[in-house]
Structure 1
Amino acid sequence: MSFKTAVAAGAVAALSLVALAGCSPAASPEPAAAPAKTAEADFPRTVEIPAGRGGEARSLTVAAEPQAIAALDYESAEVLAELGLADRLVLVPEAVLNPALGGHVDEMEQVPATFPVAMNLDTETVISTGPDLVVMSPRHGAEDTIGAVLEQAGLTTLQLPSSWTDPAMLTQNIALIGETTGTEPAAAALVSEIESGLADNAASTAGADTSDAPRVLVLTNQAGRPFATAGSAFPLHLLNLAGAVSVSDELGMTATGPISAEQIVQAAPDGIVLIDMNGTGDRMYAELLANPAVATVPAAADDKLLRVSGRDVQALGLAATGPGLAELTQWVATLQ
């Protein structure tokens, strides 16, 4: 299955040019061309948000071009910065200040307020930053706990229909953020760059379509201990594009969570990917990988380990996921 693109292209306003014809001294000059529409002239606007995760499609009215934006998840913050709106951010997750994840660390350090974990966020924190736009996704369930409260408080709130779990959702969310903030051309360009990067660096055949595809365990240290990446997590979509399959499915894991040495031995993966989500490198994996039983697993015994930074294989990496996929695809080829 080759990678298929699904881009939501933004509308770009066309500029008209009026040529002035020669005239006699007594003639009146032609009227000047009307000025091109500015971003401000495109507001108020209504954004149509598709249904997602059991909800219904809805409309969002944005009265004026947003000037103070609260981003309640990593990916939304990174997208807004990539669209040139970092100087308008007033609240972001503190994790985007970590170079292992964030691609705009210097700009994010200038944001007035940060918070540690999305699921611990409360409405008072958001309201206190004075945003005229709040952007959030269903990733941590915040839409159930604070989304409605923010709207009741009169805050314009873009509740994205889907979390950032696969390339199609990534591009859909980018397009919606672009439309809401009046940055459609930049959003369309970003979507195109991401899709091209993934298409150009994918294996010729996806892992799911290969009967003898390498079996890979993907570990992440985002919870302060080794977790197995499972379910519909974004790195597993990249793993499939790279020509491999995840052993977490064989273990019956439906969501990312703790994994034991016994489970690794049971799975006996051909390779192991170690995702560094916090800049600690192998430190949180050391004890697990040093387990005598795990050390006999083919992937560990033959040193078939690939170490990657979170932003290279997570949706928040945006265009960085293209080179990240290239590295993953080249590594998977060595497991054949």
Structure 2
Amino acid sequence: MIRLSLGSIFSLFVIFLAAPHADEQPSRIVSLGGSVTEIVYALGEGDRLVARDTTSNYPPEANDLPDVGYIRRLSAEGVLSVDPDLILAEEGAGPPEVVAQLHQAGVPMVDVVETPTVEAIREKILTVGKALGMEADAKTLADKVMQDLETALETPVSAEKRVLFVLSMQGGRIMASGQDTAADGMIELVGATNAMEGFSGYKTVTGEAVIAAAPDVILMMDRSGDHAMANDDLFAHPAIATTPAGENRAVIRMDGMRLLGFSVRTPEAAQELIAALNGLGS
């Protein structure tokens, strides 16, 4: 027969009280990925976040949270320094060895799909909602976002537009979007055509390739600081200058996360992009 002293019984009682209960929800969450952070706030749970990554810049109050670094160049020490009880991470968070260290640390980590499709938006919302213990609210939010997107897409692009998405132009070298990117997904979503074909991802392209692509419009993220480029500099590029977009000085600039996030603001982004495309040449 096992006998326990009063001291042992008291110790076990303290351990029982300190142990987390199964129905407790995470209250110290690190969000890695702007689209995930937007969903957490859209569900009204921003007060459960204790840190975010650099891409998480919306809503504005997210910027008040500690920044643990760029989503693909994280450090385990930075993420763990805020003592999280849950990590929500977009696919592609890394590097892989850091993700492995986070798993080894024993902090629950939920991977959120990062595919630029309409179906992925719903999946993201439902995944985040489940992790937060808010399945019903997440379903309601997902249904609303899908309905808003359907409404936004009821207005078609008035004429076929060939769109060249330019990610950067450092040193005059054009890095453009091919297929299988968020930019390509957004261009296709609104009914326009990606002017660049034949490769996946973002790639530095030659002037000849830009001229052959013959874009009607240049699409860029609206940036400031060292990454900004004035229209005069953009259209002074020899290759761009000879395209229909260059001849008509047709450029659309949009907030990067709203345009490329494929999250709760995608209906708003689609509506904005369609309006801008339809407004060109009108």
TM-score (norm 1): 0.68
In structure 2, list runs of 5 or more residues that go unmatched.
Answer: 1-20
CA distance in 1, matches of 2:126, 2:30: 18
**Is the CA contact (8 Å cut-off) linking 2:157 and 2:274 kept in structure 1?**
no
Aligned equivalent of 1:257: 203
Aligned equivalent of 1:66: 26
Percentage of identical aligned residues: 24
The structure-2 alpha-carbon separation of the partners of 1:78 and 1:334, relative to structure 1 and needing over 3 Å to count, comes to closer
Q: How does 1:43-82 map to 2 (within 5 A)?
A: 44=22, 64-82=24-42
Which structure has more RCO (C-alpha within 8 Å, separation ≥ 6)? 1
CA distance in 1, matches of 2:261, 2:149: 12
The structure-2 alpha-carbon separation of the partners of 1:229 and 1:140, relative to structure 1 and needing over 3 Å to count, comes to farther
How far does residue 181 in structure 1 lie from its aligned partner after superposition?
0.7
The CA deviation string for residues 124-144 of structure 1, in whole angstroms up to 9 with x for no partner, is: 2212210000111223454x3
Aligned equivalent of 1:274: 220
Q: Please point out which of 104, 108, 112 is paired with 1:156.
A: 108
CA distance in 2, matches of 1:222, 1:75: 25
CA distance in 2, matches of 1:150, 1:293: 46
The structure-2 alpha-carbon separation of the partners of 1:174 and 1:280, relative to structure 1 and needing over 3 Å to count, comes to farther
Q: Please point out which of 210, 227, 233 is paired with 1:287.
A: 233
Aligned equivalent of 1:220: 167
Q: Quote the RMSD (CA, aligned, Å).
A: 3.0
The structure-2 alpha-carbon separation of the partners of 1:154 and 1:182, relative to structure 1 and needing over 3 Å to count, comes to same
Which secondary structure state, in structure 2, belongs to the residue aligned with residue 119 of structure 1?
coil
How far does residue 71 in structure 1 lie from its aligned partner after superposition?
1.2
Alignment of 1:138 onto 2:83: no
Which secondary structure state, in structure 1, belongs to the residue aligned with residue 56 of structure 2?
helix
Aligned equivalent of 1:325: 270
The CA deviation string for residues 176-231 of structure 1, in whole angstroms up to 9 with x for no partner, is: 11011112233223212321222112257799xxxx94321112349998531232
**Is the CA contact (8 Å cut-off) linking 2:74 and 2:94 kept in structure 1?**
no
Which secondary structure state, in structure 2, belongs to the residue aligned with residue 129 of structure 1?
coil
Amino acid at match of 2:247: A
How far does residue 114 in structure 1 lie from its aligned partner after superposition?
0.6
Aligned residues: 260
Q: How does 1:1-336 map to 2 (within 5 A)?
A: 44=22, 64-97=24-57, 102=58, 104-105=59-60, 107-111=61-65, 113-142=66-95, 144-160=96-112, 162-202=113-153, 213-221=160-168, 227-249=175-197, 252-276=198-222, 283=229, 287-315=233-261, 318-333=263-278
TM-score (norm 2): 0.79
How far does residue 94 in structure 1 lie from its aligned partner after superposition?
2.6
Which secondary structure state, in structure 1, belongs to the residue aligned with residue 30 of structure 2?
strand
Deviates more, 1:232-241 or 1:130-139: 232-241
Which secondary structure state, in structure 2, belongs to the residue aligned with residue 136 of structure 1?
strand
